[in-house]
Each structure stands twice: as C-alpha cells, then as structure tokens.
Chain A
Amino acid sequence: MTHTDPRAGDYVVATHGLSKRYGRESALEHVDLRVPDGAVYVLVGVNGAGKSTLFKVLMNLERPDAGTAEVFGLDTGRAGPEVRAQVGYVPERQDAPYRSMTCARLLRHAAAFYPEWDHAYADHLTRALGVRPQRRVGGLSKGETRRLQLVLALAYRPPLLLLDEPTDGLDPVVRRRALALLAEHLADAPTTVLISTHHIHEMESLADHVGVLREGRLVAQMPRDELQRTVRSYRLEVPDAWAAPRELQPTGLRRSSAGRDVQCTLVGEEREVARRLAATGARVRQVSTLALEDAALAFLPEDPS
C-alpha cells in the first residue's frame, strides 16, 4: 500500500526502483522512496530489512544493482560529493575515526570539510548531549560515540539528515533529550529528516511520514495521518468459521474461545473496511485508533521466524 507521487521533483529524496543484493539476499527490491521537503520521515523495518543499505546508497557508500537514487535532484552516484555536502549522516555502526584524537579535535577536523560549520552550535550540542570534549575518541563508550556522531551530523545544519538508528545505544533519558534536541534543531533552518529506527514509539510525535520496509520492499509509505486513519483495530462479532478477508491485510488476530469474538488490525478506510466486513458476515462492534508504532507493525510480518 504505497502512495507514491510521480512528481519526483518535489521530493528531497527520491529513489526509483532501487535494488541491491548481497549474494543471494536482496537487501532492497524495487524501492521507490519519496521523502517530501521538510518532512520527518521515519523508516521502519526489522533488522536486516535493508534500511542501512538504503542510507549507504544515498551516501554513495554502496552502489545499487538496479535503479537510481536522487537527493535534492542530484544523482547520488554521479554527484556523490555534492550530495554529501548537504547531508548529515549518522551511520548504523558506531566506530568513530581517529581514535587518538580528542572529541574536540575531531570536531575541528570535520569542520574543515563543511564551510557552514557553526562552532558555537557544535559547542552547544556537545554540552547538551553530554559529550566530553577532552576525551579521546577511542575511549568513548558506545553511547557517547553515538552522541558524538550526532554532533558531527548536526553542527553544520545540513538540509538533509540521514539518521540510521540515531538513538541506538543511548539510555532512555538521553534518548528523549537527543530527540528533543533534534526537534529544536529543525526549527533553525529548513531541514528534512530521514530516520530509520526500531523504536517507533519514541518517534511517534516527531514523525510526519512513515515508510515500512519489509524484506527489502517498501510495503507502505504515507503521511502519518493517513496511516492512523487507514490502519485501525477492529472488534468484531463474526459467524462461525469466519476468516478475515486477505485484501484487508489482517494482523494481530485474536479470537475468543467460542470463536465469535474477534479482535484484529485491518488496513483500509473505515467505511470501506466496514462494508467488506459486512459482506463476509462480520459485525463491527468497536473501532479504535492505534498508536503509530502499532499501525506500522501491521505491515510487518507477525512470525519472527
């Protein structure tokens, strides 16, 4: 269920049929990602779904097997440096470079590559995120490295932020602070954000677009309002031997022991869903909206195996 707008020119990030395989596994398959200008787009998917590969293609760290990717209208393969000059990237892995340098020295190093680096803002971010400037980079904990990477990505206010699991490795208190800092950061200059995460719930309020990646395919991509409108939890009264209609993508099905009381998550506009359900003999007793995380999970496989 993807609602892609063919006018790729309005999008900060647009991929066209992007595919990438590693051996037999396909990390990305015909992905048509569309990130609108100024959006906070949250990309959701299980481990290994291809989220990090997508980011690497956008940064031209990986070459796709098929398809193209554009950032600000620039082809990521042909205009790698120009694209990267406009992007703040937090990678999935947590090794920082130049382990013998202090954090402050590393920041000055990065500053040489970005003419719009704001030293005062970098100091502010360093303090706000609790990064100790005089610590050697090699001696940082996982969480502190992550926070340093956030400072590295934000300090020059790039118009696009590519954050691959930015809160990974951070404890809960710091996570919230980091996200609040990100929200404030967005207020200073027009910025588009593409975040990949496992923890959808903490992005609930920040996200305004959601994309779901499942086994390399983009199975859903829409504004959050649409997602919350079209994915709901239904409490149903059903006849015996009732099965949920497949086209409504049922997930989370729970049946009472008698089999006549069913709760499940269905996809579709409410009226349409009610109509189809009525056609199968089910009666809608109650409909509830879902939090963003639960709504997005409706597109992910239920069986972890």
Chain B
Amino acid sequence: MTAPAYRTAERRARGARPPLPRLRSVLAEQVRATGHALRGPALIAAALLALVTLFAASQVLSRGVDLTLNAWPTQLPGLMGALLPIAVWARDERFGPAFLWTLPVDRRRHALTKALAGWVWLMAGVALFVLWLLAVTSASGGRALPPETLHVVTSQVAAAGPLDPAALRTVRWAPGPLIWAVPFTAATATYLLGSALVLGSRHPLRWVIGTVLSYVLSSIASEAASAQLRAGWLDDAPGRLLRLLVDSRYGLDALLTARIESLSNPAALTTGESTIVWWGVPDLADWRTATLLWTGAGLLALWAAASRHRERRRA
C-alpha cells in the first residue's frame, strides 16, 4: 500500500469524509487546462501577426512611411473576446452528462470558473497584441496615440458633397491615459457576451445565424410595410435599431473605440483635399459609461447562462 493510501484508509476509518477541492486549486487548474486548449488558436494568431509584421515591415522599408497609432484597432480585441469562448468551450460538452459536471464542484461556479480562466488568457493575449502594436509603431519611427488636431464640423452641414473648410474648427485633442485600457475593457465585454451565448445555448451558431437572418428579413419586411402602409417611421426600423446599438452615445462603438470610429469620417473639402472630419469630439466619459453598461450586461448574461447549469436543488 502506498503512503497516501495508508493515510486515506486511516482517515476513512475515523469517519472523515473526502474533502472538497479548494477553489484556488480548481481555478489554477482550469487556467492551465484552458491554456492547453488554446494552444491551437494561439499558434494561428501568432502566425497571422507574423505575416502582418512582415507586410508592415515591407511597407515601411519600401515607402519609408512611419506608422503612427492614432487609434486602437480595437475591433480586433473585441472580436478576439467574442470568438474566444468558442475555443474555450470547444469540445467541452456543456449540456448533458459531461465530465465537467461530474467533478466535485458546484456546477454554476464551475462554469464561471472556466469562463474566468479563459478571460485570464484573453487579457494575456490582448496585452501581447498591444505590445506588438507598440513595437511595430516605434520600430517604424511612429508614435503611439499622440495628441491630435481634429477638424470638427461646427454646424449642420449636408452629409454629401465637399465641405467648406470654414465650416470646420480645429480642436486639439489628447487622449487621456485611460485610452490604454480600451482594448482590455472592450475584449472583456465582448468575451462576457460571447461566453454567455456559448455557455447558455446548445447551438450558439444557430442563434448568431438566426439573428443575422432575422435582421435581414425584418429590414425587408419593414421596408415593404412602410411602403404599403405609408408609415414612414417603419422604414428602415431595424437599421435604425442597429445603428442605435452600435453608433449611439453608449453603443458598441463607444465600448470598442471610444466612438473614434463612428465620429470620424474621411471627407472631401471644397479645396480639393481630403481629410478626416469629425462629427464630435470623442469623450472618454462616454466610453466609461458604455463600458460599464456593456460589461454589466455581459456579467448578467453570463450569470444567467451559468445558472442554466446550476445544481438542481429541490424546493
């Protein structure tokens, strides 16, 4: 008999029950196991980054431009966050008698622990991404997120057509230090929502396709309806709803890019040049609120999704 066997036998003889695992060791092991599961996607991401680096290097060397980071390409961390749950929960069965649920951990807590483990790796990935961006930027001689001069539109102008330079005013805008947090918060929020979807539904892909389809169908329907019923408000109602979700003050874009994306547009001036024109000054307060809202929604959704797997307690 091995020494642990002897100790176990002794303990059992005394009537002591086998102990539950400590949350610390469960979390640590989940982080390790999730890391193991993410090796594949990580390699792919690394390969892609290498390719992009080569491309950027060739551009810099051939054309001598320097790459300045004006704004985070945060759609990428956002996308990373949204897609990571698929890799985290990939082959793990969430529904039915899966190995995961036979372990001596409360099931809802276990689901959340696993999601948390994935988030740890997500933050590591985003950090590496940020570092890579900075490295590429500085290697090319550019600067990262420097203060900028923005051309802001002062008054209501027609959306189409070249703009009169006089209608623009210049604003000096320096993104505060909080801007460095944007990729992390964006990825976190999308990760929470993605995890909620993957954890909470048996066929998350069907939900995604279903949503896209229903958007398309409802757009067609609302257009037809508004034409038939001459109800102008119906026209493009789904589209407006979508824009509300994305472009509004606390919408998705606020979360992802502090509205830098939606507020800026390239436009042609009457003088013949074309420049980036801003419809408002991005305000990090908007981003803060948006982050709180979306992250809060994500946490709630994840909690609800995890609760779907909770231990059934009888009344």
B71 at the A interface (CB under 8 A) = no
Given A60-B312, A78-B313, A85-B18: A189 and B91 interface contact (C-beta under 8 Å): no
Q: Are B313 and A159 in contact (CB under 8 A)?
A: no
Q: Are A189 and B18 in contact (CB under 8 A)?
A: no
Q: Cβ of A60: which chain B residues have Cβ within 8 Å of it?
A: 311-312
CA distance A118 to B6 in the complex (A): 10
Contacts of B8-29 to chain A: CB distance below 8 A: 8-9, 11-13, 17-22, 25-26, 28-29
Name the one of B8, B32, B33 contacting A116, with C-beta atoms under 8 angstroms: B8
Q: How many residues of B contact A (CB 8 A)?
A: 44
CA distance A123 to B40 in the complex (A): 29
Q: Are A112 and B18 in contact (CB under 8 A)?
A: no
Interface size class, chain A = 35 or more
Q: Are A189 and B25 in contact (CB under 8 A)?
A: no
- Give the shortest distance, in Å, between B169 (CB) and chain A (any CB): 57
Name the one of B11, B99, B313 contacting A77, with C-beta atoms under 8 angstroms: B313
Q: Cβ of B25: which chain A residues have Cβ within 8 Å of it?
A: 112-113
Q: Cβ of B106: which chain A residues have Cβ within 8 Å of it?
A: 80-81
The DSSP consensus for interface residues of chain A is loop
CA distance A208 to B92 in the complex (A): 37
A interface footprint on B101-116 (CB within 8 Å = 1, 0 otherwise):
1111111000000000
CA distance A226 to B54 in the complex (A): 79
Q: Are B312 and A77 in contact (CB under 8 A)?
A: yes
Q: Cβ of A112: which chain B residues have Cβ within 8 Å of it?
A: 21, 25-26, 28-29
Q: Cβ of B21: which chain A residues have Cβ within 8 Å of it?
A: 85, 112-115
The number of residue pairs between A and B whose CB atoms lie closer than 8 Å in the complex comes to 127
A101 at the B interface (CB under 8 A) = yes
B interface footprint on A14-35 (CB within 8 Å = 1, 0 otherwise):
0000000000000000000000
A120 at the B interface (CB under 8 A) = yes
Q: Cβ of A147: which chain B residues have Cβ within 8 Å of it?
A: none
Name the one of B12, B20, B102 contacting A82, with C-beta atoms under 8 angstroms: B20
Q: Are B104 and A101 in contact (CB under 8 A)?
A: no
Q: Are B104 and A91 in contact (CB under 8 A)?
A: no
CA distance A19 to B160 in the complex (A): 70
Residue positions of A touching B, CB distance < 8 A: 56, 59-63, 68, 72, 75, 77-78, 80-82, 84-86, 89, 91, 93, 95-101, 105, 109-110, 112-116, 118-121, 124, 156-159, 188-190
